[in-house]
Structure 1
Amino acid sequence: MAKIVLKNISKVYKDETVISNLNLTIKDGSFTVLVGPSGCGKSTTLRMIAGLEKESGGEIWIGDKCVNDTAPGHRDVAMVFQNYALYPTMTVRENIEFGLKNRKVPKQEREALVRDICEIVALTPYLDKKPQTLSGGQRQRVALARAMVKKPQVFILDEPLSNLDAKLRNQMRTELIQLHQRLKTTFVYVTHDQVEAMSMGDEIVVMNKGVIQQIDSPMKLYNDPDNLFTAQFIGTPAMNILKFGDVPGLRVETQETIGHIGFRAEHALLSPKEPADGLAIEGEIITRESLGAEHIYQIKSAAGTFFVKTFLAPLETANHVRVVVPYRYVYYFDPNGGRIRGIGGLAENAGSGKAAENKLVAVGGA
């Protein structure tokens, strides 16, 4: 196991700065996920840690060693890619032990390692088969086994599940979590899929345009986002965001300028029968999506379009609805997208126990 520290890392391609002054500490033994949209710099960061890309500036430390000038093969890092990168003419056994042969590991030791690792990833029945005869999930296990026999300090996984179908992806997510718990090794995982990130990582690094937006546990990111980008990137559906000036009757007494307000779809009350104290908006249902136990409605209002998620019986005929969001579930953001705390949002009430210095003065519906 090893801690990874990136100090003031930058990466420039020709005249384009992809990553600038990035500082990140990945804890020893953690399952850390780098997540963000395509082009945000997460894969470039991963490849610099592995030594496949040369940083333009800064320092990369793995354990107690600065590895800036260390070749990829000597960084004690194992990588698993989305395309598996298996040798088609070799059997599963030969693919797994290929690196061990190159390192001149004795045959008896190789066989013991391959046997033990294949038991862990359930590949023993397939050792003499060729990769093309295996399913996508089995091929991904071969790629994992090939990385595991090296017994590295760090596992680096670059979107390893993106080529699998939805059902197999869910299964492999569970298997990777269990594998991490068993090996207790540092895992660094890159994905653009926020559901994957939330379900797997014990720490998530949200990136955008080469800049870290927030580093936190999955539920902290969901309940207490630092900015508009994180609020909208984490969560399905994304957090509803409305322009502050477009919400009729809402006034907030604060020293800061509010640009937007937000709320999660499941925190909105759809046509409550009892009087409810909160942000009230009226609108028309334009789409209905039933997912078994939950129902998602897209609602168009004068303040903008937003989603409501409910676990109650679906509304089959109603079109015009009144939505109420309790004040404690409303989030506030400044015009630059930064979070404004202390006005009564969920996270500060639940976490700090401090009384809000700012307050809601009046709220009116649409």
Structure 2
Amino acid sequence: MARKTSLLPSLLGVGVLLATVAPTSGCLFGGYDGVFFEEEDVRIEIPSSGFRADDIHGDAWWLINETTEHVNGWVTTVVETSGYVVEFLSNHRESGVDGTWRIYGPFDDQGGRDVAWLVRINGTDMDTSFEFLVAPKGTTSADEFEIMAEGSLTVEDELRFGNMRIDFDTIENFPDLDLTLLWSYAGDINIEFERNVDTGEKRIDLDFDGFVANRTGYLDDDHFESDETYAFHKAADGSGSFHLALMGEWDTYPYGWSGPEQERMQLDMVWTPTNEGRAFGTITEVEGKGDMLHGDLSLDECFDGSGYLTYRSLSELYAAEVPTYNFGDAAECVVALP
């Protein structure tokens, strides 16, 4: 199946941006303790190590793996790089207080961007809330700053849980913060996670709130939007599940089977502790809107513990377009459809 325009890789630039302003765990803010996200808190881990010979690919698995790789790229960058803001805050007392909030700044960007920052911190080394606000370079009035990202983290023994909201409308207001080419964004993404450090169990949810992404291409524009959820869960025994859904224009995927109208794509995967699993994808019309060649499309595939396909099935009318696509027996799949 063809691999063309992809929405989530473009979000990598957002992670690079946030890396310059997001603190890591174990930081001091002017002498105050604070607890913050760690890379492992928000890293999605699907079965992939050593997977896939070059000549055998599962298309649903491939899309999920690509999505995971790029989401990890921009989400974990938020927490794996301390950035200059943490260094600045660790060497300075707060410039003011607002109730229980400690205020740092405003201060101009030290990386050459035409922006100024204002950071708000609240809490202790067990429970910390934070806000990162941005304004044009040289701004000194706190009222002129806009929230770019905010969240909180709590640590209770081996359990860590927290959330972060990223405001793409704010990012779009400042050209120096947009590190992507040809893409524009609107809306919010809300990240929530819970991780048990001892057992390894982890849950990550990304809620899209009026999220819109537009790509201006050389020959064709693409429009994606979602108010749905990107969800990942890994159990203590290593088994897990994945889910993503969004509206988009799939006219270049797969095989040009869709036109310029939007349809809903959903990707799901479940796997066992030994990495055997099943991946399932659909592209469907919503409220009668869509222009897929043969209507709704579905793809089902199973893989063994080394990642090799054991079964693959495409919707009948689409399979007729690619006669050699379907193979294997669904009865032999280790994991049943949910």
Q: TM-score, normalising length from structure 1? A: 0.28
More strand by share: 2
Instruction: Specify which structure has the bigger relative contact order, considering alpha-carbon pairs within 8 angstroms and separated by 6 or more residues.
Output: 1
More helix by share: 1
Larger Rg: 1
